[in-house]
Homo-oligomer: A and B are copies of this chain.
Amino acid sequence: MIALKNDLLLQALHGETLNRPPVWMMRQAGRYLPDYIKLREKYDFFTRVQTPELACAITLQPVDQVGVDAAIIFSDILVIPQAMGMTVLMEENKGPLLPQTIKTEADVDALITGGVEDSLQYVMQAISLTVAQLGGKVPLIGFAGAPWTILCYMVEGKGSKSFDKAKQFCFTQPALAHKLLQKITDITIAYLKAQAAAGASVVQVFDSWSGMLGPADFKLYAQPYLLQIADALAGTVPVILFPKGSWYALPELGASAAAGIGIDWTVPPAIARSMAGPSATLQGNFDPAKLLAPIPQIKAEVKTMIDAFGTSRYIANLGHGILPNVPVDHARAFVDAVKEYGT
């Protein structure tokens, strides 16, 4: 194992007292970076994801070019439906498309749940390669989609404004929904453990659509599976849960085995702290669109954000993925402002 030269992210997740928080950005390896766009012109989406050398090169770009305190492996949450035997198509600048959706018990029974170390071996190879190339410069974050969010895509077949087909599936066939969620949870735990074994220092679970659920349905269809994942990884690597939009669940998630909880930009820091409790490390929550503001305004608002969250038990990040139309120097200003905090 390579010793980390910059382990601020791990210190923040362990609750150590820091002078400034670590900083990274969701989707930092991606569409706003000119070098990424060049690779995108040459290789299609799943070629980029499935070729360890390409995934590694893309992962390293923001570390070198923007100066973040952590890398996150370039991949996609929909590799799990693929590993479970479903077809996933990805058109550039459009969303994903799963032509055969899950409707019946037979569909759920046909899903593959084993062998993820083999079927997604390319991810583990990309992680090993990236960790070697990083040489301890910063930690590498692995990730997966949360079971509810993966169910959304499996049932809906694509993005949606309301994910009402996914919800209808749960509301009308709850036993089948739980069977599916458990299958996704099992393979996701194996997948995240394999990522940790390959060298990921931290893993994040993206529940991008959890905020579509009201509090009672979140407790039924999202929370138990997030907690299972946090419990299963405890003692392996720190887990960050990011249930976007589900501010109402902060007390339960803050008391869970997860080391960190991501929050979106609509949650006031003081309310987040009070709801999540003293032992949770919070991550977020700069409005991604605020990176389109003039640089002095970005810097001033980053300072306000850190003033509100404090420098310990806190990871500076956006409240959602970086937008493709953000100028690179604005992304860099965000990172710089965190690094300059208190100096």
Residues of chain B within 8 A (CB-CB) of A290 are: 167, 171
Q: Is the CB of A167 within 8 A of B268?
A: no
Chain A 265-292 interface residues, beta-carbon cutoff 8 Å to B: 265-268, 271, 285, 287-290, 292
Alpha-carbon gap, A245 to B211, bound state (A): 10
Residues of chain B within 8 A (CB-CB) of A287 are: 167, 213-214, 217
Alpha-carbon gap, A190 to B50, bound state (A): 59
A245 contacts which of B248, B266, B293 (Cβ < 8 Å)? Answer: B266
Alpha-carbon gap, A285 to B319, bound state (A): 25
Alpha-carbon gap, A320 to B161, bound state (A): 12
Answer whether A162 and B214 are a contact pair too, CB < 8 Å, given A248-B271, A271-B248, A297-B171.
no
Q: Is the CB of B266 within 8 A of A214?
A: yes
How many copies of this chain are found per oligomer? 2
| Min C-beta distance of A53 to chain B, whole Å | 32
Q: Is the CB of B266 within 8 A of A168?
A: no
Residue A343, interface by CB 8 Å? no
A292 contacts which of B168, B212, B323 (Cβ < 8 Å)? Answer: B168
Residues of chain B within 8 A (CB-CB) of A213 are: 266, 287
Q: Is the CB of A162 within 8 A of B294?
A: no
| Min C-beta distance of A177 to chain B, whole Å | 12
Residue A215, interface by CB 8 Å? yes
Nearest chain B residue, comparing its CB with the CB of A298: B171
Residue A325, interface by CB 8 Å? yes
| Min C-beta distance of A20 to chain B, whole Å | 22
Answer whether A164 and B292 are a contact pair too, CB < 8 Å, given A217-B287, A287-B217, A297-B171.
yes
Chain A 130-177 interface residues, beta-carbon cutoff 8 Å to B: 162-164, 167-168, 171-172
Alpha-carbon gap, A163 to B290, bound state (A): 11
Residues of chain B within 8 A (CB-CB) of A325 are: 164
Q: Is the CB of A266 within 8 A of B215?
A: yes
Alpha-carbon gap, A167 to B265, bound state (A): 13
Binary B-proximity of A258-270 (CB < 8 A = 1, otherwise 0): 0000000111100
Alpha-carbon gap, A288 to B171, bound state (A): 12
Nearest chain B residue, comparing its CB with the CB of A166: B289
Chain A 210-228 interface residues, beta-carbon cutoff 8 Å to B: 211-217
Known: A171-B297, A172-B293, A247-B247. 20 other contacts (CB 8 A): A162-B289, A162-B323, A164-B289, A164-B323, A164-B325, A167-B287, A167-B290, A168-B289, A168-B292, A171-B289, A171-B290, A171-B292, A171-B293, A171-B294, A172-B292, A214-B266, A214-B287, A215-B266, A245-B266, A248-B268
